[in-house]
Amino acid sequence: MRKLTIAGFALATALTAGCASTDENGMDAMATANSAEQTASNAMNTANNAASTARSAQQTAEQALAAAKEAQRSADEANERARRMLERASQK
């Protein structure tokens, strides 16, 4: 009987230790999951910021391209005027 009582206490102790260990593992897993979620959230924020910066850069590039096209058009017109002036000057 005494051996059964000691075995019962040993079993209860082992089960309690196992439950405590399981609870600790569960808490560790939850902390890891929360950390992973925070990391994913940070990564998403970084990606959104990068996308916003890329859109802004694209808009700036499009404005620069439009300005360059306008400058090219003005230069072409100035070259055409200069060519006509040279033609008239050479005919005189």
Considering the domain boundaries, does residue 47 fall inside one? yes
Considering the domain boundaries, does residue 48 fall inside one? yes
The whole domain housing 8 covers 1-66
Structural domains counted in the chain: 1
The pLDDT tens digits for 8-67 are 555 556 555 555 556 677 788 898 888 999 999 999 999 999 999 999 999 999 999 999
**What's the pTM?**
0.56
Considering the domain boundaries, does residue 87 fall inside one? no
SS3 sequence, the chain? Answer: CHHHHHHHHHHHHHHHHHHHHHHHHHHHHHHHHHHHHHHHHHHHHHHHHHHHHHHHHHHHHHHHHHHHHHHHHHHHHHHHHHHHHHHHHHHC
